[in-house]
């Protein structure tokens, strides 16, 4: 799994965003039966102001949020609860580009504290959540949410992280 990290908020440097992201994305791929090799994702660690800008620009919501994702191509499904068609891996020289994820430092800190979770576990969950969006999973309906949350829970269990739901 190739993870390209872009750090806009310096506090992400010491938070281990790259290692947490690699663990989260690899666990998701393994849970879905995909090899971790052959895929590329770009993850930007930013602050609340930057993610609020992105949230306003792309979702019309001018406020900070925890994580946003932009798939490289539409992989969603039309029927609620249906499993998206998963991409084929590329190779080492030409990995399959899955898309981009942005994650906000202060929102993550506040949510982890509010929920009584470690920052690292919460960030891992949010990156995994954003990564599943890149693969076409969503939570717009109850059926879609159940499918996505089940994958998240099992993938996090692979990493020794408790069910976040």
pTM of the shown model: 0.96
Check the annotation: does 133 bind a ligand: yes
Q: What percentage of the chain exceeds 90 in pLDDT?
A: 95
- Per-residue pLDDT tens over the stretch 110-131: 999 999 999 999 999 999 999 9
Predicted confidence band of residue 62 (pLDDT cuts 50, 70, 90): very high
Check the annotation: does 139 bind a ligand: yes
Write out the CATH class of domain 2-158: alpha beta
What local confidence, expressed as pLDDT, does residue 92 receive? 86
Segment holding 35, helix H or strand E: none
Phi and psi for 47 in degrees, rounded to 5? -100, 180
Phi and psi for 53 in degrees, rounded to 5? -60, -50
- Per-residue pLDDT tens over the stretch 68-102: 999 999 998 889 899 999 999 999 889 999 999 99
Please name the residues in contact with 68: beta carbons below 8 A apart, sequence gap of 6 or more: 51, 54, 55, 58, 59, 101, 102, 130
């Amino acid at each position: 799994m190739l993870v390209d990290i872009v750090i806009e908020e310096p506090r992400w440097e010491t938070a281990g965003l790259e290692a947490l992201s690699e663990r989260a994305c690899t666990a998701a791929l393994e849970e879905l039966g995909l090899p971790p090799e052959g895929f590329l994702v770009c993850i930007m660690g930013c602050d609340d102001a930057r993610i609020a800008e992105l949230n306003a620009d792309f979702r019309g919501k001018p406020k900070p949020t925890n994580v946003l994702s932009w798939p490289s191509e539409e992989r969603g499904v039309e029927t609620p609860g249906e499993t998206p068609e998963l991409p084929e891996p590329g190779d080492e020289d030409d990995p399959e580009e899955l898309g981009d994820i942005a994650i906000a430092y202060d929102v993550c800190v506040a949510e982890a504290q509010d929920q009584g979770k470690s920052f690292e576990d919460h960030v891992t969950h949010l990156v995994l959540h954003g990564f599943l969006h890149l693969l076409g999973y969503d939570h717009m309906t109850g059926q879609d949410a159940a499918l996505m949350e089940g994958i998240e829970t099992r993938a996090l269990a692979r990493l020794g992280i408790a069910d976040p739901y």
